[in-house]
Amino acid sequence: MAEGDSIARLAARLDAVTAGSTITACDVRHPRFATADLTGQRIVGWVPRGKHLLMRTDAAVTVHSHLRMSGRWTVLGAGRRLPRAVAARLRIGLRLDDDRTLAGIDLPVLTLVRTAGEHQVVGHLGPDLLGGSTATDEGLARAAARVVAAGAQPVVAALLDQRRVAGLGNMWAQELLFLHGIDPWRPASATDPLALLADARRRLRHAVEIDPSQSTTGRRSPRHWVYGRAGRPCLRCAAPVAFTAAARTPHGRETWWCPGCQR
Ligand SMILES: [Zn+2]
pLDDT at 3: 87
pLDDT at 69: 85
For 27-55, what is the mean pLDDT? 96
Provide the residue type at 31 as one letter.
P
Ligand 1 centroid to residue 35 C-alpha, Å = 54
Ligand 1 centroid to residue 184 C-alpha, Å = 13
Ligand 1 centroid to residue 233 C-alpha, Å = 8
Q: How far apart are alpha carbons 125 and 226 in whole angstroms?
A: 27
For 140-144, what is the mean pLDDT? 97
Ligand 1 centroid to residue 99 C-alpha, Å = 53
pLDDT at 170: 95
Q: How far apart are alpha carbons 187 and 164 in whole angstroms?
A: 15
Ligand 1 centroid to residue 255 C-alpha, Å = 15
Q: How far apart are alpha carbons 46 and 48 in whole angstroms?
A: 7
Ligand 1 centroid to residue 245 C-alpha, Å = 20
Ligand 1 centroid to residue 185 C-alpha, Å = 16
Ligand 1 centroid to residue 50 C-alpha, Å = 30
Q: Are 65 and 52 in contact (CB under 8 A)?
A: yes
Query: What pTM value is reported for the model?
Result: 0.91
Q: How far apart are alpha carbons 167 and 150 in whole angstroms?
A: 17
Mean pLDDT, the chain, rounded, equals 96
Q: Which of 165, 175, 158, 147 is nearest to 262 (CA)?
A: 175
Judged against a pLDDT cut of 70, whether residue 1 lies above it is answered with: no
Q: Are 148 and 92 in contact (CB under 8 A)?
A: no
pLDDT at 2: 76
